[in-house]
Amino acid sequence: MTAPARTNPPLLHRSRSPLDRRNFLSLAFAGSLAALAGGWLGALFRFLRPPQKQGFGGRVYAGRVEEFPPGSVNRILAGRFYISHTPDGLLAIYQKCTHLGCSVPWSEAEGQFHCPCHGSLFTPSGEVTGGPAPRPLDIFPVEITNGEVWVDTGRPLTRSRYEPDQAVKV
């Protein structure tokens, strides 16, 4: 005579004790606190991070390199600067006159910048050649990435004279 087959008890048997519920609630509470803290830290980071400005005061896309042939001076209205392609490379020249701040136009006929307010004159690289302006026109940092010309109008650079290394080689 053979003994009746025994069935094994289930391997995963969990009791529903009050301790398990307490653990679950603790974990849920800790998870909620972590999510809340993460959201709060994210909001704080966005608040403290400097805003990424578009247009004047931030990074401005001027165009593709080939749009600025050697010897050309092109006005970039959105950034309030000119891209001047000098023999040394590209310069982003701020349009603001260093005398009293008038907007200085490029005169194609004269081949120079000519301020209409008090007659200051500037070369294509922004050097003063006449008038009351005390120093060259300011410039902005230029960056060329994959053939695209970008200008950081948030950082105007004053200069006492023109130096070839101010231009970005193309």
Residues in touch with ligand FES (CB under 6 A): 97, 99-100, 102, 115, 117-120, 131-133
- Torsion region of 147: left, alpha or beta (phi above 0 gives left; psi -120 to 50 gives alpha): left
| Shorter beta-carbon distance to ligand FES: residue 54 or 103 | 103
Structure tokens at 47: 């608040």
Rounded to whole angstroms, what are the CA distances from 139 to 24, 93, 163? 62, 4, 12
Which positions ≥6 away from 124 have C-beta within 8 Å?
71, 73, 84, 86, 111, 112, 113
| Shorter beta-carbon distance to ligand FES: residue 90 or 97 | 97
Which positions ≥6 away from 116 have C-beta within 8 Å?
102, 104, 105
| Shorter beta-carbon distance to ligand FES: residue 102 or 168 | 102
| Shorter beta-carbon distance to ligand FES: residue 69 or 101 | 101
